Amino acid sequence: NRLMFKGVTFLTFIFYLMKHIHEEFGPVFIQEPDDVIFPLDSDEKKVVMHCEARGNPPPTYSWYINGTEVDAEADYRYSFIDGNLIITNASEVTDYGKYQCKAENSFGTVLSRDGTLQFAYLGAFSGKARGGVSVREGQGVVLMCTPPPHSPEIIYSWVFNEFPSFVAEDSRRFISQDTGNLYISKVQPSDVGSYICLVKNTVTNARVLSPPTPLTLKTDGVMGEYEPKIEVHFPTSVLAAKGVTVRLECFALGNPVPTITWRKINGNIPKKARLRKSQAVLEIPNIQLEDSGTYECKAENPRGGTAFKGHLQVYTLPQWVRMINDTQMDSGEKLQWECKATGRPRPTYRWLRNGLPLTSQVPSLLHSTYCLLLIVPLNKRIIPMKLHYHLYYIYSFLIPVLIFLFFLSCRIMLLRNNTLRIVNASRADEGNYVCRAENQLGSADSFVLPEAMRVELTPARVEVTVGESVVLSCKATHDTSLDVAFQWFFNQKPINFQQDGGHFEYIQTSSTVDLMIRSILLKHAGKYGCRAQTSADTVFTEAELLVRGPPGPPGVVIVEEITDTTATLSWTRGLDNHSPISTYNVQARSPFSLGWQTVKTDPDPVTGDMESAIAVELNPWVEYEFRVVATNAIGTGDPSAPSRAVRTKEAVPSVAPANVSGGNGRRHELVISWEPVSEEFQNGEGFGYIVAFRANGTRGWKEKMVTSADSTTYKYRDETFPPLTPFEVKVGVYNNKGDGPFSSVVVIHSAEGEPREAPSDVRAYSISSSEIRVTWKPPNPEPGRPRGYESGKKQRTVKNETSMVLTGLEGNSLYRITVKAFNSIGHGPATAAVTAKTRKTPPAQPPANLIWIQEGNNVSLSWDPVKAKDNESDVIGYMVLLKQEGRGHNQVTRTINPSTVLSLPEGGTYIIEVRALSEGGDGAVSSQIRLVTSSGTHKATDF
C-alpha cells in the first residue's frame, strides 16, 4: 500500500509539473536603472538605483558598478531592497559611474541597460584676488569667468558693480553659456567698473560669486575703428541627438560694433530656429535629421567682415525594428534568431546568453531572450527524480495512461512543494489531516492548521483626477464559521467616517466591504488600508491612490537680471500632481496695474520643461513683482510666491502727451494745455515736458521746458502778435536719460482780446415800479467777440442775448443806463447813457371788508374799493386768488370792479386773497378768509 501510495503521488507530481510548466519562465525586466543626478548637498543621504524583474521562480538580483560586482557584505554603504540598490553616504569619488542590474533564476539570466549615477554640486570660486583689466575706449575686451568645479551644467551671468545689478546683453555685450566669459565688442566709458561672474547650478539652484575683476580705461587715447574678430564660435563639428535643442554661439569684437548674421550652406535655416541675444545665438529646437548641415555665422562692420563655419550632425538613438521572442523547441532542432535596429550612425550588435557575451562586439542596445525551453520526446527516458527521500525510476510509456486515469479520478494530489491539494472539497473531506515525513531513520508527524484568512484589496493601485470618485473593495476569504470585522485606514490612521463623511462612505456585505471616496481632493492621495479581523486571525493590506490634479505652486520666483523693458526670471518646479505640466504663465504686478496681469514672455509659450523665462515689454522705471502659475491637462494651479519687488532700468520716455489743445487766456497770451503722462510711462527721474510752438507760416520752433511732471498748462505771452493768431503746437517729453517723442501737431489760436466796440441802438423803458427793460444791438463781429453784456448794477446777460430786465429798482425814480460787452479778457467800451423812469409804487392799502355769499358751488365776493395816494400808482383793477387747502391748484380771477363771483370746483376748505392792481405792480394783499363749502353770509375774518 505504501508503495502504491508513493507511486501514485509521484505520478500526480508529474501531471502537475507538466500541466503548470508553462507558468515558469526566466526573468523579464519591469523596471531598469535610470540615469540619476544626486545633489551632494541633499538632506537625503541615500541614492536609490531601481531594478525590478518578474519571473517564476522569482529572480534574485546582483549589481555591477563600472563592470565590477557590488559586494554588499564587504561595504556597509551598499544594501539591497528587493531588486533596488541603496547607496548610503554616496560619494562622487567612489560611486560615480555606470550601474547595471542582473536578474537570474533557474531558467536564465538577464542584464539591464546601464544607468549612470552623477553627482550635482557647485564648488566655490578661488578666493584669490583677480587682476584688473585696462583697455582703450573703443577696444574690445574679454573678461574670464573661470568657473569652480561643478556638475552638471551651470548658467552664467555677470554682476556689474554690485548685486543685483546685472550686465545686460545686447549687440555690444555677450555672455557665453559655454565658457562663461563676458565679451564686450567695443568698450565705452560707461563700462568702467567692477565685474563679478555669477554661476548657478541647474540642478541644485546653488549660486556662487567670483572675486571682482576691475575694468578701467587707459589714458593714452581712443582705439580707432578695426574689422571684426570672432572671439566666440561653436565647434567645427557639433553632434546632437534628435529631438533636443541645439544652441550655436557666435560673437565678435570690433569697432564699430559688428553685426552678426547666420546662414546654412546649401540650404535654409529651419523656420523653427530662433535668433537670440542680438543674433549672437542661433537656437534650433526639436532638432531633426533634416536640420543637419554646415552653418555659418558672419560678423561685419564698415571695416570688413569675417566668418566661421561648423558642421551640425544629428544622431538618433537605436530603436528596435525586429526583436527576439521566447521560443520553445525540440531538442536537436535548429534555432535562428534575428534582431534588427535602426539608428544613426548604424547600430552595432552583440549577443548575450544568461548575461554572458557570445561575441566581443561593443554593446549599443540590449534586448534579451528570457527562456529557451527544450521539450523531451516521450520515447526518451525520464531523468530520475527524488521525492520524499526515495528514488524511483519510471519509464515514459506509463505516463500518458496514468495521467489520463488520474485526471479523471484524482481529487486529492500531493504537489511538488509537498502541499496537499483537494479539488472540489465537500463535507466528506472534513476531518483532521496529518503530514508525515519519513526516512530510513524514522518519521515525524505534523497537524495541519486551518487555512489562514486571505484579504484582497482591489484595485491595488488606482489613479484618479481631482473631483472624481472611486470605490476600493476589500474582500476576505476566511473560515465561514467565523465572523469577520473590517476597518479602513488612510496613511496608517483609522478613517473617521463621521468627520470625513462628506468624502468617505463605508458599504459592507458579509465578507466584503467597499470604501467609496467621493469628490476626491489632492489631499486624499496616499495609502488606503483594509484590516479584516476574526477571532482567529487579523490581516492588513494596503492599496495606493494617486490623485491627478492641477499643479502645485512653483517655487519662489527669482529675478536674475533686469533691464529697462525685460526681466529674466527663474523658478523651481512645483508638484505636477501626476499630470505633466504643459505651460507656465508669468504674471506681474505694479502700482499701476489692477492686480496681477499676464505679461508677454520670451519664449512664448513657456513650456512645462522650462524653469526660466524673460518677461518682455515691461515699462521702464516701474517697480514690479513677478509670480508664475503652472498649468497641466487637469487645470491651472495656485501661483508661486511673489518675487521681491524690483524696478526696471530707466529709459528715454516713449509716450507723448495726449489731447493737446488750448486757447482763451488774456490779451497777447498763447495758452497750451495737455493731459499729463502717467507716472507709469515717465520711464525715469527728472521727467518733464517740452512745449514747442510756432506761428503759422514761420519755420523755427520755439521750445520751452516745463519741469513739473504734473503740469498740464503752459502760457506764452508776447505783445507783438495780434489776437486769435494761429500757432502750430506740439508737446514732447524728457527725463534724465534724454528726450522722448512729441505729440502730433495741432493748431491753437492766441487769446482774442476784450471787445473793442460798444453795442448800438440802446433803448430803455419802465415795466414796473422796480423794473426797467433794456434792449440793444450787438457790435460788429471782430477779434474780441463778446461773450455777454453788462448793464445797471453789473447785471449780466447769459450768453449773447440783446435784452435784459433791470430789477430791484426804486419806484418813481429816473435812471441813467449804459450797456457794454465783455468776454474772458475784459470789458469793452460802454454805450452812451439812456434814461428811463420807474413807475409809481403800487397802493400800500390792501382791500378791506371782504364779504361773501355762497349759493351752491358759487360764491359772491365783495370788498371796499382801494384809493391810491398821490405818490402811488392809480388802481386799474383787482386780482382775486382762490387756493384749496391740500391741493396745489390756484384759481386767479381779475376784475376792474370791487366784486366778483367765484366758482368752487368741489367740496373742501378754501383760502381767498384780494390785491389791487396798478401800473406800478401788485398792491398789498388783503386779509385771508377761510371758506368751508356751506351756504351763509359771513364777514371776512382776519387770521
pLDDT tens per residue across span 840-865: 999 999 999 999 888 878 889 999 99
Range 658-750 classified under CATH 2.60.40.10: yes
Domain 558-648 CATH (choose: 1.10.3720.10, 2.60.40.10, 3.30.420.40, 3.40.228.10): 2.60.40.10
- What values do phi and psi take at 89, rounded to 5? 55, 55
Q: For residue range 523-533, list pLDDT tens digits in order.
A: 999 999 999 98
The mean pLDDT of 650-656, rounded to a whole number, is 95
Among residues 880, 937, 889, the alpha carbon closest in space to that of 913 is found at 880
pLDDT of 390 strictly over 50: no
E-only strand ranges, 743-837: 746-749, 760-766, 772-777, 788-791, 795-796, 803-806, 814-817, 819-822, 827-830, 834-837
Q: Can you tell me the mean pLDDT for 430-448?
A: 65
pLDDT of residue 308 exceeding 90: yes
Report whether 470 contacts 547 (CB < 8 A).
Answer: no
Cα dihedral 458, 463, 466, 470 in deg (nearest 10) = -20
Q: Kindly report the CA angle at 35 between 29 and 38, in degrees rounded to 5? A: 130
Statement: 126-224 belongs to CATH 2.70.98.60? no
Q: Which fold, 848-933?
A: Immunoglobulin-like (2.60.40)
CATH placement of domain 760-837: 2.60.40.10
234 near 271, Cβ under 8 Å?
Answer: no
Instruction: State residue 384's pLDDT score.
Output: 32
Q: Span 225-315: which CATH code?
A: 2.60.40.10
Q: pLDDT tier at 935 (50, 70, 90 boundaries)? A: very low
Class of domain 22-120: mainly beta
Beta-carbon contacts of 192 under 8 Å, excluding residues fewer than 6 positions away, are 215, 216, 217
Each residue of 858-902: pLDDT tens digit? 889 999 999 988 888 999 999 999 988 877 678 899 999 999 998
- What is the pLDDT, as a whole number, of residue 413? 67
- What's the pLDDT score for residue 387? 32
Question: Mean pLDDT in the chain?
Answer: 84
- DSSP-based helix, strand, coil % in the chain, nearest 5: 5, 50, 45
Instruction: Please state, in angstroms and rounded to a whole number, the distance separating the CA atoms of residues 743 and 693.
Output: 12
**pLDDT(451) > 80:** no
CB 120 within 8 A of CB 152: yes
pLDDT for 7 equals 46
Highest mean pLDDT: which of 79-83, 396-400, 445-449?
Answer: 79-83
Say if residue 489's pLDDT is above 50: yes
CA distance 249 to 284: 12
Q: Cα–chain-centroid distance for residue 752?
A: 57
The pLDDT score that the predictor gives to residue 450 is: 54
Whole-angstrom Cα distance, residue 36 to residue 92? 12
The listed range with the strongest mean pLDDT (41-50, 608-617, 776-785) is: 608-617
**Mean pLDDT of all residues in 400-407:** 43
- Report pLDDT digits (tens) over 261-274: 999 998 899 999 99
For the segment 55-75, the average pLDDT, to the nearest whole number, is 90
Weakest mean pLDDT among 27-31, 331-335, 779-783: 779-783
Query: Which is nearest to 520 in space by CA: 558, 470, 562, 449?
Result: 470
State residue 407 phi and psi, 5-degree precision: -65, -35
Identify the band that residue 251 occupies on the pLDDT scale cut at 50, 70 and 90: very high
Q: What is the pLDDT of residue 674?
A: 96
The fourth-level CATH superfamily of domain 323-360+406-448 is Immunoglobulins (2.60.40.10)
Q: Is 81 exposed, middle or buried (0-12, 13-18, 19+ CB in 10 A)?
A: exposed
pLDDT in the model for residue 17: 47
Q: Where do the domains of the chain lie?
A: 22-120, 126-224, 225-315, 323-360+406-448, 454-548, 558-648, 658-750, 760-837, 848-933
Place 406 in a pLDDT band, splitting at 50, 70 and 90.
very low
Is the pLDDT at 388 greater than 70? The verdict is no
- In this predicted structure, the answer to whether residue 306 has a pLDDT above a threshold of 90 is yes
Is the model's pLDDT at 393 over the cut of 50?
Answer: no
- 9 pLDDT above the threshold of 80: no
- What's the CATH architecture for 454-548? Sandwich (2.60)
Distance of CA 271 to the CA centre of its chain: 28
End-to-end C-alpha distance for the chain, whole angstroms: 147
The reply to whether domains 225-315 and 323-360+406-448 share a CATH topology is: yes
695-709 mean pLDDT: 91
Q: Does position 352 have pLDDT exceeding 90, yes or no? A: no
Is the pLDDT assigned to residue 515 strictly greater than 70?
A: yes
Please state which of the ranges 111-115, 174-178, 282-286, 323-327 shows the lowest mean pLDDT. Answer: 323-327
pLDDT band of residue 415 (cuts 50, 70, 90) is: low
Lowest mean per-residue pLDDT among 20-24, 664-668, 868-872: 20-24
Torsion of CA 634, 635, 639, 640, to 10 degrees: 30
